[in-house]
Structure formats: C-alpha cells, structure tokens
Structure 1
Amino acid sequence: MPFLTDVFTLSNGVQIPKIGFGTWQVPDGEPAYDATRAALDAGYRHIDTARAYGNEASVGRAVRDSGIAREDVFVTTKLPAEVKDHDEALRSFEETTAALGFETVDLYLVHAPWPWTEIGKDCREGNRAVWKALEEIHADGRARAIGVSNFSVADLDSVRETAEVTPHVNQIRWFVGHTQAETTAYCRENGILVEGYSPLATGGLVDDEAITTVADRYGRTAAQVALRYLLHKDVLPLPKSTTPARIVENADLDFDLTPQDVATLDALTRE
C-alpha cells in the first residue's frame, strides 16, 4: 500500500511515513503489543505512542520483536502534558526511552500546552522551559525531530519567541468537519507538519451518512474516505484500531477524491 511507504519531509529534512498507527486508549500489555505487531505486519512503519498512554513498554517491545530494523520504524512519543520544568522534562525523556527500550526516538512531542486537569492554564513560561529541554535532546541526536501537540497559534507563537528550533510537527485533533483552519494555516506558513489525531472522530465518522454517500461512489468505506481526505490536505493521519482487518483497511487509501467530493467534505461541520 503506497501511502505506508510514502513520506512527508519535515523542515529539518527528516522523512516521516505519511500514515501513522495511533495507540491512544490501547491498554498496555497484550492489547498494545498485539495491535502494534498487527500494524507492523500490515506494513505500517510509523507508530505513535505517548508516556500518558501508559503503553510505551508494550509498543517498544512489539517494535523490537517485529524483526524490522529499528531505523525502518518511525517511533513518536510524547512528554506528559503536566511536565513544565526543564530538568523534569529531561528526566521524563530518560524514563520514556527506558520504557521503550530504545536509546533514541524519531519524534518527541510536548503532549499539550497545559496539564489535562487544567486545560487553558497559562503555561507559557513552562512551555518555553520544556522546549529548551527538547532542543537539547534534539541537538544530542536522541530525538531526530521535535514538536508539540494540541498547540494553538498563540501557544506556538509563545514558544517560538525564545526557540532556536521551530517545532517540526504539531499533532492536533483533525478530521472531516473539524479541521482547525487557523492553526493549520499557521503551521503551513511556518513549515510545521500537521498530524491529525482522532482522524475518524474517535469512530464518529465510520457511519456518517454524508461521508458514506461519498464513499459509495468509490466502493470504499466512510473511514477510508475520511482518512484519504487528510492526506489530500497534506495532514498526516493517525488512525487507531485493535482489529487487524480494520488496521489494514485504514491504510488502503490508494485512490483519489474528486474536487467535487473534496468540496462536499469541506462543507461538513462537526464538533
């Protein structure tokens, strides 16, 4: 499947596979291990996890056990959102690499601009502090690329005021009907790749009537059309599933949407 081998090129020249396999809400142990192995067996070469998911150890073990060379699997993980201290960020990264069983990661993200228990809190100073830690990790070669997640335009502007490295990636909630136009445009203008998590609206688009109508014209599922839409917009989708057949289906996106169908999808709105 071509999109599993196609890549986006980040602003620092690092190549990242165009489809990632998400592991949010996949429990540690057998579920995370089996899902990751199924994704790798299906041809995925980009795996996305996070310290907050609690499954780094199982994800890392699945990558190691797959028989695929480590340099051929792009692994993303994230600094917990509540960490807003430079030294604590460095310690957290060491704990993450120990859990994964890797000395390096391919992409390391600040999971959110504020703690999940205090959404909207002003953490500008803390974000600048942890970004300095990520810049050091990047400079040392322990992360090939660095970025953020859930950052708005204001959050990005604040970090960039003191940054030496502009974030390479911003991973945000992005799907048909919820495309975060302002943040997406800002990222494009500044060479920041947008990754879309929950690209199926946590399953909410799978049975969407309007998307299904479009999908029927291609002999595809609504999920496949929704994911193909992200790629059409140069947004990297991170679909998640624990069902092997669905994992394969989510990567089978070798078809083109017509301009008319893209316009139909553009007009949809969803929270």
Structure 2
Amino acid sequence: MTQPAGPIPPLLLVGCGQMGSAMLAGWLADGLAPSVILDRHRADGPAPHRIVRQAADLPDDFTPALIVLATKPQKAAAVIPDIARFARRAPVLSVMAGKTVGGLAASLADAGAPGAVVIRAMPNTPAAIGQGMTVCYAPPAATEAERALCGRVLSAVGDTAWVEHEEQMDAVTAVSGSGPAYVFLLAELMEQAAVAQGLPPDLARRIARRTVSGAGALMEQSGVDAAELRRRVTSPGGTTQQALAVLMEPEAWPAAMDAAIRAATLRAHELAS
C-alpha cells in the first residue's frame, strides 16, 4: 500500500489521555499540520495546534483530513454526536479498545453521518517515542486512499500491520495494546527481586530496566526467533537454566501468560457490547 508523503495532514484528535498523548507526541515529532484536539482535561497545547475543551467550541470551518477517536471506550456514546458533522466529510480512525467498526458507523449514522467510514486500529504507548506497534482493520467500504491515509498517520509513531478479520482485533488488543504493561511489570518484579537479594535499590532499578530494554532491542534488531535467543543465553547447568526451570513450570509463566492474554481478549470483546 502506498502511503501519502509529506507532513501529516490536519487531524481532529478526540481524547488526549495516555494513548492520545502518546500518538500526538509522535505526530508532532514527524511534522503535523495545524490540528484540533478535543479534550476537557487539557488546558493548552503546542502552537499552532488548537486545544478545545468542549464540543461546542469546535470550529465549524475546520476541515480535518482524518478524525482520530482516542477516548475511553465507555465514553464513545457521548462523543459520537460531537464529531458527526466532521465525519460526513472525513474518515474516522478509532483507537478505542473493543468498539467495532459496525457499531461506531451505526452510531454515527444515528447522529447524522450516514455512510461515515470507520477504520479501527490498536496502537500502544511506545508510540510516544516512535516505537509503537499498531494493528489496523478496515471494512470493505474503506477506499485505498483512506487506508493509506491511516497508514501514514500511524506509521509516524511506529510499525503498522493490518488484519483481514475484525474479530482478530480483540487478541491484538490483548497482546500489543496491553503488552507494554506486561513488560513494565516484568521490570518491576525483577527490580524488587534484585533488592530482595541484597542489591541497592538504585542499582536494582538500573539493571532491571536496562536488561529489559536491551533484550528487546537485541530481539528487534537481530530478527532471531525469541526462543532461539533464549536458548543462546541458557548454558546447561548454569544460572539461567535454574531460573528458567522455575519460570517455565507449566503452572508458572506458560499458564499465567495464556490466562492473562485470554482475560484481556475477553475484556476487549466485552467492551464492544
């Protein structure tokens, strides 16, 4: 798919919490045309972009190339009427967990924007430093140009991929959308365990964080399968093998990670209803 070149076109960003702020940081770094941000908690923003705290203050003469829905899923019903007039002339990119393309399109139609095109994406918070992973789904009604525009916007904050079936997005949400929290928890637990073994807290934090980030960078840059990288670190009878014998017990990490991903996938599905 060929993506539009040049600066990122004007956007209407609806919601600027954790995910919205992460994406905005990436867009600003990549060059974002003057845009409007609707968020009742944000008082100001970088010029020349405009912050609007309530829907009534959205400028009628603003014509975004794309509307990015980044509110919490529970607030979707409240914001749909606010953006309907813009959705009559620009596609909508939703980054809300669980909310389906069909459900959002139906809500927009009820609010006065029949035929609005909705594309769904799930980014993650490393988007703030251009290291995000975003997976997208576009319905058959979306044009190649609309898909390319979304790809251009999302590629500014990291890697992008597409799925053919929308139901796959629940698993995407559980793995990559929620995934940074799992990695942060790993670093947190490693730090705590290091302190318990007698290391000073500052050193424990430093080596835990650097080990996690360095291992991730090695895996990304080497392209080697994760299992093979694990084997390369594991000497027979050594310290790593002793640790992995604990972590890889069937009821330890294998069971816990599977249960965690299933729980997050189920929650993403519940949010759609």
TM-score bracket for this pair, using the shorter chain length: 0.3 to 0.5
Structure with the greater relative contact order (CA < 8 A, sep ≥ 6): 1 or 2? 1
TM-score (norm 1): 0.34
Structure 2 length as normaliser, TM-score?
Answer: 0.34
